[in-house]
Amino acid sequence: MSDYDKYVEQLRHPDNPIVFMEMTAGGAPLGTIVMELFADVTPRTAENFRQFCTGEFRKDGVPVGYKNSQFHRVIKDFMIQGGDFVNGDGTGMMSIYGAKFRDENFTLEHSGPGILSMCCNVGAVDEAHANAGTDTNGCQFFITCAKTDFLDKKHVVFGRVLDGLLTVRKIENVQTGANNKPKIPILVAQCVCCIENRYFIVVLLGEGAVGKSSILMRYVENKFISRHTSTIQASFQSKQLVLDRSSVTLNIWDTAGQEKYHALGPIYYR
C-alpha cells in the first residue's frame, strides 16, 4: 500500500484534499507535514488554504501563497503559527476572497495536537487573547501542539495533520526570541496538494524504440503492483512528481505489449 493510500484511509471524507508542506530549519531539511483539509465541513476555509498551497491564487498576475513563507511564532505546548506570506511577522492579511473572510463555522474542536486552525487578523492566538475579532480570517493559520479547547468557538478548525507530527514537534522545540519568533528561519520550502485520478495522455514520437525507452527510463522507475501482469514487450512504469506545485503520479505503459493487459493508468507511449 502506498503512502497516499494510507492517507486516504485516514480521511474523514474521501473527497477531502491532502496537502504537503516540506519544512526547513535554517535551510536544512526538517521533514514533511501532511494535512487533511476538512472541505466536507469548512469548504470555503479549506479552499482558501488549498489555493495558497498550490499557488493557484494570483495577485496582479503573480502566484502568491505559502511557499517560502515562515512559521513566525512558536509557543511550546501550545501551537506553531505561520502563513503570513504578506509581511512575514503576523501582521499580514490576504485571502482568496479579498482581504478577509467570515468565520465559516465552529463545528470542529481543538481536540488535541495536530489540529489545523485559522488565525485572525493580526494573528493574535494565545491563551490570554484567543481571538482578535470575529470574521477576520485571512492567510494565517496555526497547528496545535496540545489540546486547546479554550480556542473552540473562537477559531475555525479546518484540517488536521495526517503525518508529520514529529516535524511539528521539531518546530515546537526550536529556540525562540522576542514575540516567540524562532531564532532560526522555519520555512515552507515546498507545498503541494495531491491530485488523485487525474491523467494526462503522453505520446513519445520517434522512429525507433531505443530513444523513447531511454527517455522513459530516465524519468520513471520500475514499480509493479500485484494486480498487474508484466509480460514480454509490456513494461509498466510509474513515478510521483510535482507538476505545477501539485503532486501527480505519472503512469506509463509500453503498448507494444499484449493489449489484453491493463496499464497502471491511461498514460502510454508508442
DSSP string, 163-180: E-HHHHHHHHTS-B-GGG
pLDDT for res 225: 43
φ, ψ of residue 30 in degrees (nearest 5): -115, -30
pLDDT for res 240: 58
155, 165, 250, 264: the catalytic one is 155
73 belongs to the catalytic site: yes
Name the DSSP letter for residue 263.
Answer: P
Where in the sequence of the chain do the CATH 2.40.100.10 domains occur?
3-194
78 belongs to the catalytic site: yes
20, 38, 52, 78: the catalytic one is 78
158 belongs to the catalytic site: no
Contact status, residue 64 vs residue 5, Cβ threshold 8 Å: no
Helices (H), 11-130: 43-54
51, 81, 137, 140: the catalytic one is 81
- Listing DSSP states for 131-152 in one string gives -S-TT-B-S-EEEESS--GGGT
Contact status, residue 238 vs residue 249, Cβ threshold 8 Å: yes
Contact status, residue 72 vs residue 145, Cβ threshold 8 Å: no
Contact status, residue 177 vs residue 134, Cβ threshold 8 Å: no
Question: Could you give the 3-state DSSP secondary structure of residue 44?
Answer: helix
**Mean pLDDT, each 10-residue run in order, the chain (270 residues):** 84 94 96 97 97 92 94 97 95 92 97 96 53 81 97 96 98 97 97 66 54 56 44 50 56 48 42
Q: What is the pTM of this model?
A: 0.73
151 belongs to the catalytic site: yes
Task: Return the C-alpha cell found at 126.
Answer: 494565545
pLDDT for res 121: 58
Contact status, residue 135 vs residue 101, Cβ threshold 8 Å: yes
Specify the CATH architecture of the domain 3-194: Beta Barrel (2.40)
For residue 115, give Cα distances in angstroms to 16, 57, 86, 200: 15, 24, 23, 34
pLDDT for res 4: 80
pLDDT for res 226: 41
68, 105, 106, 131: the catalytic one is 131
- As a whole number of angstroms, the distance between CA 154 and CA 213 comes to 57
- As a whole number of angstroms, the distance between CA 57 and CA 51 comes to 6
151, 187, 250, 264: the catalytic one is 151
pLDDT for res 120: 79
237 belongs to the catalytic site: no
Cross-strand bridge partners of residue 251: 238
20, 142, 158, 236: the catalytic one is 142
16, 38, 57, 73: the catalytic one is 73
